[in-house]
Structure 1
Amino acid sequence: MLKQKDFSQFYIINYNPWAKEEDLKNRVEHPFVFIETYIHDLSDYPSLNTFEKAQAIFNDIREYQKVGYNCFELELNLLKENRIKYLNQIASRLLSVQADLRQIKRKKDLKRYKSIDSLILLLLNSIKEILQSIFISYHLELNNSNREVLSKWFYLKKAIISFRFNTYPEDKRLEILYHKYLTDRGFISTLTNFNTFKSLFEAKQLENKINWIDRKSSLYYFIKLLVKKKVVKNPKNKHWEITSEFFLLNGEALMPRDFLNQKETQNKKSRVVLESFVNALSQNS
């Protein structure tokens, strides 16, 4: 089985369109060439009729898939020019190989193919997982043809967008309030960067999470205050979804259901501090 020990031919051609034949010699054609190597040697593989045989082949394919994807991302991220061309060449090649495998699988009358149905299924699943990862990570750079095909198979989760201020305060003022009422008073970890907190109000997709280190009841009250005081635009009942996306609770992930039946904090000091922060912001509205 071929292993990628250097840049692939696909990479070299896109990195240097004037590459000579000797520049491509002894290089794998692309990072996922292992799949095609299996196809060329189909008749050499025994029927996967025992758990041990099936597991051994499955583990090999998974390992090649992992290494291949790492090589693909390395090459993709090193390319400045022709990056999109390279990406779509990879996607198109995988779709072509997938079609070839399906065609082979349909040839039930050929006895030599009947014994390797299981291997073909493992290879098809490997291609599916690779294409799914490519689609999720790079769908905006796929050409119309590839995007149209893959969008029929894979679903992109709609990105959760953060709150948006009704009236934006000055960054400096917001930062002073942030430290005075939230980090210095032990609600948010001092390791949470101010810009991370600020993105909670900029209608952005998640980049980094805010680590709330007080109780969940105080976080619940904090979000309720932001909505009630109209510091943020009406989130249309998405506020717990946004909260679970953008906050950690003492380093642990949250789910929207974690706020079902949650009661707000009754700690008087906590309530006063959180109210002071939100009231200071509501003066902008």
Structure 2
Amino acid sequence: MLKQKDFSQFYFFNFNPWVKKEDLKDKIEHPFIFIESYMDNLNTYPYLNTFEKAQIIFNDIKDYQKAAYNCFELELNLLQENRIMYLNQIVNRLLKTQKDLRQLKRKEILNKHKPIHIVIHLLINSVKEILQSIFIAYHLELNNSNRETLSKWFYLKKAVVSFRLNKYPEDRRFERLYNEKLIKKGFISQLTNFATFKSLFEARQLENKINWIDRKSTLYYFIKLLLQYNAIKNPKNRHWEVASEFFLLKGESLLPKDFLNQKETMNKVKRKHLESFVKALV
């Protein structure tokens, strides 16, 4: 199977349009050439009829896919003038490869060699995953045709934006409240710096998460207090989505559904500390 040991022909043609083809004859055409290499050697898999053998091919394809994507990103990020041209050439080639794989899948001859179907399916999924990664990361640089094609198959998750305070306190006072009421009282990890916590109230997209180290019941009550005291602008019923996006619970990720049927803490001391913090914001 072909491996990339140097920059690809696609890279050289975009880095230096005057490069001679004969100077590139020993270089692979593009980073994802491993897919076409598998396609050219399908007949070498006539006995791919056990789980173990399929697992080996699956792992091999995954390894090649990861390495190829890293090479692709390296070449893309090193290019300057023809970066967008290179990107769309890669996508065009992957779309053509995808079409060729689907045609192979439909050929009657494959019915006589069912194990080959396994390789075809794995390669189709590999191309799909690569295109999805490219679309998510580089959709703004795709030409209209490629963007339109890929947007029919994949969608971009709308970024979750944090809360916005109705009345923003002076930074030094805000940081002092944070340290005294949330850090020292054991609600938030000392490793969560003030800037990270502050971003929870700046209508921003996630950069770093806040590690809530107390119980989920106190985090639940904290979010309820922000709403109850009108400390934040109306989040339009997305407060649990924001909470799950911006908080970890003792280092573990959260989902909005984790707050369903959750009860607030009844610990009077903890309730008092949280109420004191939120009241200071209004």
Given the two structures, how large is their TM-score scaled by the length of structure 2?
A: 0.89
Question: How much has 1:219 moved relative to structure 2?
Answer: 1.2
| Unmatched tracts of structure 2, length 5 or more | none
Question: How much has 1:33 moved relative to structure 2?
Answer: 0.3
Distance, in Å, in 2 between the alignment partners of 1:202 and 1:77 is 31
**Counterpart position of 1:143:** 143
Which deviations, in whole Å up to 9, do the C-alpha atoms of 1:182-209 show, x marking residues without a partner? Answer: 2222211111122211111122222211
Structure 2 counterpart SS, 1:253: coil
Say whether 1:66 aligns with 2:94.
Answer: no
**Counterpart position of 2:202:** 202
Distance, in Å, in 1 between the alignment partners of 2:254 and 2:33 is 41
**Counterpart position of 2:125:** 125
| Unmatched tracts of structure 1, length 5 or more | none
Question: How much has 1:25 moved relative to structure 2?
Answer: 4.2
Distance, in Å, in 2 between the alignment partners of 1:119 and 1:106 is 14
Note closer, same or farther for the CA distance 1:49–1:221 as it changes in structure 2 (3 Å cut).
closer
**Counterpart position of 2:165:** 165
Question: How much has 1:277 moved relative to structure 2?
Answer: 1.6
Structure 2 counterpart SS, 1:159: coil
Distance, in Å, in 2 between the alignment partners of 1:84 and 1:59 is 31
Does the Cα contact within 8 Å between 1:32 and 1:69 map onto a contact in 2? yes
Q: Which amino acid aligns with 2:98?
A: Q
Note closer, same or farther for the CA distance 1:262–1:116 as it changes in structure 2 (3 Å cut).
closer
Structure 2 counterpart SS, 1:224: helix
Does the Cα contact within 8 Å between 2:110 and 2:116 map onto a contact in 1? no
Alignment of 1:102-117 (within 5 A): 102-108=102-108, 116-117=116-117
Q: Which amino acid aligns with 1:39?
A: M
Q: Which amino acid aligns with 2:183?
A: T
Does the Cα contact within 8 Å between 1:47 and 1:118 map onto a contact in 2? no
Question: How much has 1:79 moved relative to structure 2?
Answer: 3.2
Note closer, same or farther for the CA distance 1:260–1:57 as it changes in structure 2 (3 Å cut).
closer
**Aligned residues, how many?**
282
Distance, in Å, in 2 between the alignment partners of 1:137 and 1:57 is 27
**Counterpart position of 2:76:** 76
Note closer, same or farther for the CA distance 1:167–1:174 as it changes in structure 2 (3 Å cut).
same
**Counterpart position of 1:12:** 12
CA-atom RMSD, angstroms? 2.4
- Percent of counterpart pairs with the same letter? 72
Does the Cα contact within 8 Å between 1:108 and 1:114 map onto a contact in 2? no
Structure 1 counterpart SS, 2:31: coil
Note closer, same or farther for the CA distance 1:110–1:272 as it changes in structure 2 (3 Å cut).
closer
**Counterpart position of 1:211:** 211
Does the Cα contact within 8 Å between 2:101 and 2:124 map onto a contact in 1? yes
User: Which deviates more from structure 2 when the two are superposed, residues 88-97 or residues 47-56?
Assistant: 47-56
Which deviations, in whole Å up to 9, do the C-alpha atoms of 1:240-268 show, x marking residues without a partner? Answer: 11111110111111222222222222333
Note closer, same or farther for the CA distance 1:58–1:216 as it changes in structure 2 (3 Å cut).
closer
Distance, in Å, in 1 between the alignment partners of 2:161 and 2:78 is 30
Note closer, same or farther for the CA distance 1:175–1:267 as it changes in structure 2 (3 Å cut).
same
Structure 1 counterpart SS, 2:248: strand
Distance, in Å, in 1 between the alignment partners of 2:124 and 2:109 is 20
User: Which deviates more from structure 2 when the two are superposed, residues 57-66 or residues 105-114?
Assistant: 105-114
Does the Cα contact within 8 Å between 1:210 and 1:247 map onto a contact in 2? yes
Distance, in Å, in 2 between the alignment partners of 1:220 and 1:49 is 52
Question: How much has 1:35 moved relative to structure 2?
Answer: 0.9
Which deviations, in whole Å up to 9, do the C-alpha atoms of 1:204-241 show, x marking residues without a partner? Answer: 22221100112222211211111111111111221111
Question: How much has 1:94 moved relative to structure 2?
Answer: 0.3
Distance, in Å, in 1 between the alignment partners of 2:230 and 2:281 is 10
Distance, in Å, in 2 between the alignment partners of 1:157 and 1:52 is 36
Say whether 1:86 aligns with 2:86.
Answer: yes
